[in-house]
């Protein structure tokens, strides 16, 4: 199979590259093409487990879903997972290999290019077209040496590039034209067309702007894409996108008469190292649930459930929980009968202690947890990456998802599990049944399990015959159905507002540098 390649780069971070690639992938698959996604280098703590036992960025897993194929480690051969201001966990072809500082990583990229190219070749061997997503900004000339994420990769395989700018943030003309100005001529020549994303209002008001950019750069104008609210049903890639999504969903929940008044408030403390936060998406989509993010400097409001999501650095986020005064409030909430739930790193925080004897997250130490579950966690170098399938211990509703964590959690004899996973008891429930914890990312994916857990917190209002029926809405049996519907709407949207035929014509077979 002779694949073609097309690379999508951006004028900056969060201009919509990941979403556009996902939408284009779904549109091209519907045209009968075998499409595969690829991102040479990603930086994100929102990761996904692959069927071949690795991990990749959540955006590439979403793009794989758009293509109708399982996620594979080759789709994102280099993943950086930030653990602080200057350091990141380095994942290469799905496996954690090191912890690196930003300055030292720059000189290491040259050594990673062969593995990046091998992953790309593996994908290209089985595709009609590979859609490649760049990282950050194409114009980061200070990082151009040994670059593997943007023009360095594009030059290595002679990939044509489409540049995306975000009109919603302002200055899109200058960012597009300015990218051409600052790039090396050989890099600028790789750009063949441009897209302006997230247009709000009358698109005819920017017709002159599209023409100006095309004339100034010589690039082909491939589309002015209006803002699409449906993208908020897709998993967010980073915490900034998460906050935008949560705000948008809360606003949508207040508009119109078709949405029921929120009956259950799920408060989520947003900690610096929050990870795998797409666990929140099914709750956000559920009628009658209001997911309330709480940021630094804010007090935790009244809640039915306080939910601690995953964390890339459990000890650092646990210390932050105490420093912000949230730990005391969470314990008080539980003591008064409120529900507290933790997923992965949040689960670890709910126990009596978290020990790091080998310095996995920093200097060796042991920290006191919130003491709400009878568990003790010991961090280590071994990382569990595994899909799981099972059912809730109470009620038997199906659950499915994955585990992605370092270390082991020890539970007492006779503990009550939250669920059974791959035939084994998993998670833990407090003696009064009001505090729950699990390592399973995706515990809310199946709607039956989600409603059962919400019903435990709020009573019969969240039984299937309760608020679901009153809302006059039906949701798919799993949240994956919501995501697939959003991908279809996105593909329809791009078919209307982009010249996909012209974009396809730009794609060409890769040519590897000698």
3 state DSSP class of 375:
coil
Catalytic one among 67, 344, 405, 497? 344
Non-local (6+) Cβ contacts of 123 within 8 A are 3, 36, 38, 72, 74, 75, 130
Report the 10 Å Cβ neighbour count for 125.
Answer: 11
Our CA angle for 379, 429, 328, nearest 5°, is 70
Phi/psi of residue 170, nearest 5 degrees:
85, 155
Assess contact for 14 and 90: CB atoms under 8 A: no
Non-local (6+) Cβ contacts of 375 within 8 A are 347, 348, 350, 351, 352, 409, 410, 411, 412, 415, 428, 437
With residue 154 as reference, give the H or E element that holds it: helix 151-157
Catalytic one among 232, 333, 405, 441? 441
- Output the CA torsion 471→472→478→484 (10° steps): -110
Tell me, what DSSP letter sits at residue 74? G
Non-local (6+) Cβ contacts of 10 within 8 A are 16, 17, 134, 136, 137, 138, 163, 164, 165, 166
The terminus-to-terminus CA distance of the chain in angstroms comes to 22
Active site residue 441: yes
Phi/psi of residue 460, nearest 5 degrees:
-65, -10
Instruction: Report how far residue 274's alpha carbon sits from residue 374's, in angstroms, rounded to the nearest whole number.
Output: 23
Instruction: Report how far residue 351's alpha carbon sits from residue 203's, in angstroms, rounded to the nearest whole number.
Output: 53
Tell me, what DSSP letter sits at residue 446? B
Active site residue 376: no
Catalytic residue ranges: 344, 441
């Amino acid at each position: 199979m002779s694949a073609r390649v097309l690379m999508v780069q951006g004028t900056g971070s969060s201009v919509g590259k990941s979403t556009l690639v996902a939408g284009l992938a779904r549109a091209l698959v519907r045209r009968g093409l075998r499409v595969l996604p690829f991102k040479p280098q990603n930086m994100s703590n929102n990761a996904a487990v692959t069927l071949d036992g690795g991990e990749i960025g959540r955006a590439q897993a979403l793009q794989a879903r758009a293509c109708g194929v399982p996620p594979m480690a080759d789709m994102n051969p280099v993943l950086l997972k930030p653990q602080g201001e200057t350091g990141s966990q380095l994942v290469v072809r799905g496996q954690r290999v090191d912890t690196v500082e930003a300055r030292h990583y720059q000189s290491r990229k040259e050594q990673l290019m062969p593995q990046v190219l091998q992953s790309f070749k593996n994908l290209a061997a089985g595709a009609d077209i590979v859609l490649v997503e760049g990282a950050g900004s194409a114009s980061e000339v200070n990082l151009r040496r040994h670059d593997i994420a943007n023009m360095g990769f594009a030059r290595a395989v002679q990939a044509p590039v489409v540049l995306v700018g975000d009109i919603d943030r302002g200055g899109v003309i200058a960012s597009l034209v300015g990218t051409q100005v600052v790039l090396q001529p050989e890099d600028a020549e790789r750009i063949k067309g441009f897209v302006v994303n997230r247009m709000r209002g009358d698109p005819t008001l920017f017709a002159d702007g599209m023409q100006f950019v095309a004339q100034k750069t010589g690039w082909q104008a491939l589309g002015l894409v209006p803002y699409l609210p449906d993208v908020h049903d897709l998993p967010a890639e980073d915490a900034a996108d998460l906050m935008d999504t949560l705000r948008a969903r809360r606003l949508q929940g207040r508009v119109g008469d078709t949405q029921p008044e929120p009956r259950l408030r799920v408060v989520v403390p947003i900690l610096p190292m929050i990870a795998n936060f797409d666990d929140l998406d099914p709750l956000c989509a559920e009628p009658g649930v209001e997911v309330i993010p709480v940021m630094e400097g804010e007090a935790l409001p009244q809640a039915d459930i306080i939910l601690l999501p995953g964390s890339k650095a459990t000890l650092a986020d646990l210390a932050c929980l105490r420093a912000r005064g949230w730990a005391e409030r969470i314990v008080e909430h539980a003591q008064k009968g409120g529900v507290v739930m933790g997923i992965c790193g949040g689960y670890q925080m709910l126990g009596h202690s978290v020990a790091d004897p080998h310095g996995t997250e920093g200097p060796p130490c042991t920290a006191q947890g919130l003491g709400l579950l009878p568990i003790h966690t010991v961090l280590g170098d071994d990382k569990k990456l595994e899909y799981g399938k099972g059912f809730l211990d109470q009620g038997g509703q199906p659950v499915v998802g994955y585990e992605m964590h370092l270390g082991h959690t020890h539970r007492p004899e006779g503990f009550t599990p939250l669920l059974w996973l791959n035939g084994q008891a998993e998670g833990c429930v407090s003696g009064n049944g009001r505090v729950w914890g699990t390592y399973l990312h995706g515990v809310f994916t199946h709607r039956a399990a989600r409603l059962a857990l919400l019903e435990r917190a709020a009573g019969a209002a969240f039984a299937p015959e309760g608020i679901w029926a009153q809302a006059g809405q039906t949701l798919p049996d799993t949240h994956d159905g919501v995501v697939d519907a959003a991908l279809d709407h996105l593909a329809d949207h791009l078919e209307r507002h982009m010249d996909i035929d012209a974009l396809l014509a730009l794609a060409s077979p890769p040519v590897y540098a000698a």
